[in-house]
Structure 1
Amino acid sequence: MTQSATTSQPVLKVSSLKVAYGGIQAVKGIDLEVRDGELVTLIGANGAGKTSTLKAITGVLKPAGGEVLYFGKAVTGTDSFKLVEQGLAMVPEGRGVFTRMTIVENLQMGAFVRNDAQGIKDDIEKWFTVFPRLKERATQLAGTMSGGEQQMLAMARALMSRPKLLLLDEPSMGLSPIMVEKVFEVIRTVKAQGVPMLLVEQNAKLALEAADRGYVMDSGLVTMNGAARDMLTDPKVRAAYLGEVEAGSG
């Protein structure tokens, strides 16, 4: 793909996306996009529809309506494994590491769509430099690691597929403040390498500080979007998602 083709269309474009569980509409027709090299964050309260949005994009859930375009190609409802083969990878909420496999085996599983043996070895070493704690525990079973270490492994495993788009679902959930900072350090490192990312994150402040653009979801709808730096200073965002209440408000 030429550079002009890459920049002329979004890597990901979601139009009028709807997700329903029985008669309950979790996502009510949202639009969002991620462009080449961008880190875009999706913030909102629990139950806003953020995870459902990611699951619909990645084929884990079949959308009830709308369209998902990936590099301009309609992939709405495509099976997850086929999307991974096309370079769309996701780090799921809850990490989902293979607990009875070693760290190295988990990383090798992340590269299952590849057949370049030397490249896979090189990438394991590459991500070991980014995640030195994983290198120290290379032969340890993933299930015996801490939550933070498992999150590092889940991210490194997804990156082993050499994704053209990386989706992250609540990567800091349940982690200590030190591990949360490490997760965001890695996110910034991956962004610096030019990998486009869509980040769903409850820590709105850290997410917006790291992101280029942001979307706010509330009750299945996108209620606001714009440059992340502007959203950080927006009074409504600060009051609702950054824990800041203006004096005199009730």
Structure 2
Amino acid sequence: MSDTVLSIQGLRVAYGGIQAVKGVDLDVREGELVALIGANGAGKTSTLKAVTGTLPWAGGDVQYRGKSIRGLGSYALVAQGLAMVPEGRGVFARMTITENLQMGAYTRRDAGGVRADIERMFETFPRLKERADQLAGTMSGGEQQMLAMARALMSRPSLLLLDEPSMGLSPIMVEKIFEVVREVSAQGTTILLVEQNARLALECATRGYVMDSGLVTMTGPAKQMLDDPRVRAAYLGEETPG
């Protein structure tokens, strides 16, 4: 657990003159499930987009397995074992479910392994198997979220970034998605989870970070943060006595 997979150091991200991320430090170690929580507009998604190279950095550094990834595109990062499930799913709407899964494995050259992993995804997400030949754009939001996660897992990532996987889903679908998150973590994949549902995120995480207005304002073991009155009041909807 001492090996650092992802190290974010003084990261700054700006949109025009607006500082969305103001010098964030964050580490994710091998085998951890780290939750990054905070209100809308706190800078969580901007942080993930900067890590994956879809937003330019205004300052700081991001290291993946000890090496800076500044300037690397998403393709190079996926090939190195870093995959992301973006907010809003981003499935290929005019492709079938099976074709989406095949696209998730585009950096791989082991055809037999890819076929076996598609079957494994169908076992993990039986609803996808039932609709294997259906166009992704015709599925429900929850089904698309399942597909987005399965597609990312097809690259066999060693680090998986999840951006708001529960957003807009029914309670039953949220439960299923988090069941899979816990399962993937238990199988050894390192995960950085950005999630507005603070309770769910912290309940399945090893450690947590709180972001507010572009800054990390709190960090610690997830169970300890669940019991912290400041977290409970700000993010779990509970009133503090007094």
TM-score tier by shorter-chain length is over 0.9
The answer as to whether partners of 1:9 and 1:72 remain within 8 angstroms in 2 is: no
Amino acid in structure 1 at the alignment position of 2:55 = L
Q: Distance in 2 between matches of 1:77 and 1:240?
A: 36
1:140-195, CA deviations, whole angstroms, 9 ceiling, x for partnerless residues?
11011000000000000000000010000000000000000001000001001100
Q: Report what 2:56 is aligned to.
A: 62
- Superposition misfits of 4+ residues, deviation over 6 angstroms: none
Q: Report what 1:43 is aligned to.
A: 37
Give, in angstroms, the shift of residue 8 of structure 1. 4.7
Q: Distance in 2 between matches of 1:212 and 1:9?
A: 15
Q: Report what 1:236 is aligned to.
A: 230
Q: Distance in 1 between matches of 2:49 and 2:71?
A: 10
Q: Which runs of 5+ in 1 are unaligned?
A: 1-6
1:19-56, CA deviations, whole angstroms, 9 ceiling, x for partnerless residues?
00111100000100111110001000000000000000
Q: Report what 2:160 is aligned to.
A: 166
Aligned length: 242
The answer as to whether partners of 1:91 and 1:158 remain within 8 angstroms in 2 is: yes
1:73-120, CA deviations, whole angstroms, 9 ceiling, x for partnerless residues?
110232111111111000000000001100000000000000100000
Amino acid in structure 1 at the alignment position of 2:121 = W
TM-score by length of 1: 0.95
Q: Distance in 2 between matches of 1:107 and 1:233?
A: 39
Q: Is the aligned partner of 1:137 residue 2:131?
A: yes
> What does residue range 80-159 of structure 1 map to in structure 2 within 5 Å?
80-159=74-153
Query: Which one is further off, 198-207 or 68-77?
Result: 68-77
Query: Which one is further off, 35-44 or 69-78?
Result: 69-78
Q: Report what 2:9 is aligned to.
A: 15
Q: Is the aligned partner of 1:211 residue 2:205?
A: yes
Q: Secondary structure at the match of 2:9?
A: strand
Aligned-pair RMSD on alpha carbons? 0.8
Q: Distance in 1 between matches of 2:69 and 2:40?
A: 27
Q: Distance in 2 between matches of 1:188 and 1:11?
A: 19
Q: Distance in 1 between matches of 2:98 and 2:28?
A: 31
Q: Distance in 1 between matches of 2:112 and 2:143?
A: 26
Q: Secondary structure at the match of 1:42?
A: strand
Q: Distance in 2 between matches of 1:195 and 1:18?
A: 27
Q: Distance in 1 between matches of 2:47 and 2:197?
A: 18
Q: Which runs of 5+ in 2 are unaligned?
A: none
TM-score by length of 2: 0.99
Amino acid in structure 2 at the alignment position of 1:84 = V
